[in-house]
Amino acid sequence: MSRAVMIQGTGSNVGKSMLVAGLCRAARKRGLSVAPFKPQNMSNNAAVTVDGGEIGRAQALQALAAGLEPHTDMNPVLLKPETDVGSQVVVQGKRFTTVKAREYASLKPSLLKAVEESFNRLKSSYNLIIVEGAGSPAEVNLRAGDIANMGFARATNTPIILCGDIDRGGVIAQLVGTQAVIDPQDAALVQGFLINKFRGDPSLFDDGYAMLENQTGWKGFGVAPWFGEAWKLPAEDALDIATPNRDRGLHVVCLKLSRIANFDDLDPLAQEPAVRLTMLHPGQALPGDADVVIIPGSKSTRGDLAFLRAQGWDIDLIAHKRRGGHILGICGGYQMLGRIVSDPKGIEGAPGTNPGLGLLDVQTVMTPQKHLTTVDATLFGDSIPVRGYEIHIGETHGPDRDRPFATIGGRPEGARSADGTVVGSYLHGLFRDDTFRNHWLESFGVSSETGYDASVDATLDALAEHLETHLDVAGLLAKAR
């Protein structure tokens, strides 16, 4: 018999994704057949799935915690923001449409069928489903047609544990206020609460904890202290990108674009002791001591080209190259490095053509078909294996493709400048591969000191132990039905 329990939060970024990952690993260690599920997610950090689609990166991490390959059923609706008011809508792994926020409100009820289909397929395959909500159920102005929180829970009769974030302050008001504003029938599904991200002595919150139980009538499942190793796990929100504070090492600088996508490409580099990784924020000049500049993926290549130029980074990049510095463009960043980016059909915005940075002699035309695939390639001119994935639209051609980054079954992938200092590739996830990462670092005179996948797995084990120590995990999972 399959059961499910849902972790909802009093707001965004309260730690729901991390909690679900830790609970999935804890359940797996208990010998349970468990899978993660998030009805609706909003993120430009996506993962390619075993069935050839895409889901939010957090659900891919949760799948890993559960010992599973990522599958589109784990996140049936994914919103990928392209502008401040519009998003691409991905349904069960495939692009469905692009809508503005107001239009999406009317679209949501029709998506509930796909959400329920995916949920029921998972329930037929696993004994326990741990569901992650999105944002907050207290956004009652968005309750009509909701598929992410209470709308989903009511449709599937899934019990809820509500998570409050004490690090933000006002956690009592977060939880009591949520109960006060939500519909009583929605509140009836809430089986209890937990407190997340506590810093210091948890006993100092004993009175507040008792007050919450008395005020709400909900059972408390514990207080989880701040998990200091969370930075070692892939972040889904660009606001959560963590870089260790190092003052030496190979200086890798990544441009923090306005629509940065799949930025977890950087996580393995952040963990390398010999690397100093800097996320360059808008308005900041490129440091003169940068060794390598990475232009990451983007959900809006032409839009982020304009954003990049508005920061003056185009001028900085030319000066960086003139000093002998290296540049790596990944996916959208690769497209920006070329001479032209053309979108005649308006796939990413208004139709048009923009000049690229001109650092690679290639040009890109946006096409409707999205490339979604895992890749086993070989570094061009070498026998080094390159493992990654493609998740992009657009076709890139030009003379510098004669010096590819890699080959896939004999087919060239990516491009290099004549002097080898500028490289572009559509392959995400390059640095997760320990062999390639070490080879790449050694080309700059430093060596890898970590095993990335092993580090992530060990951190998930530590997260599960952390939750088992501080929360009533057995009692929480017993609320599943």
Q: Which helix (H) or strand (E) holds 396?
A: strand 385-397
Answer yes or no: are the C-beta atoms of 268 and 437 closer than 8 Å: yes
Reply yes or no on whether 331 is catalytic: yes
Buried b / exposed e over 40-62, threshold 16 CB at 10 Å, is bbbbbbbbbbeeebbbbbbbbbb
Residues 6+ apart with CB under 8 A from 250: 274, 275, 276, 291, 292, 441, 444, 445, 446
DSSP string, 405-421: SEEETTEEESEE-TTSS
- Count Cβ atoms below 10 Å from residue 409 Cβ, excluding itself: 9
The token pair that represents 114 in the structure block: 């796909």
Contact between 66 and 85 (Cβ < 8 Å): no
Which amino acid type is present at position 91?
A: V
Amino acid at 55: I
The length of the chain is: 481
CA gap 355, 305 in Å, rounded: 9
Determine the Cα–Cα distance for residues 317 and 123; give it in Å rounded to an integer: 50
Cβ contact 298:333 at 8 Å? yes
Q: Is 428 a catalytic residue?
A: yes
Q: Which of 251, 254, 331, 470 is an active site residue?
A: 331
3-state secondary structure of 277: strand
Whether 372 and 391 have beta carbons less than 8 Å apart is answered as yes
Residues facing 7 on adjacent strands: 132, 161
CB 396 within 8 A of CB 363: yes
Exposure pattern of 81-102 as b/e (b: 16+ CB <10 Å)? bbbeebbbbbbbbebbebbeee
Q: Write the DSSP assignment of 87-148 as a string of letters.
A: EEEEETTEEEEEEEHHHHHHHHHHHHHHHHHHHHHHHHH-SEEEEE--S-TT-GGG-TT--S
Instruction: Name the DSSP class of 200.
Output: S
Query: Given 320, 326, 428, 470, which residue is catalytic?
Result: 428
Strand order across the 86-91 sheet: 40-42, 77-81, 86-91, 94-100
Residues involved in catalysis:
331, 428
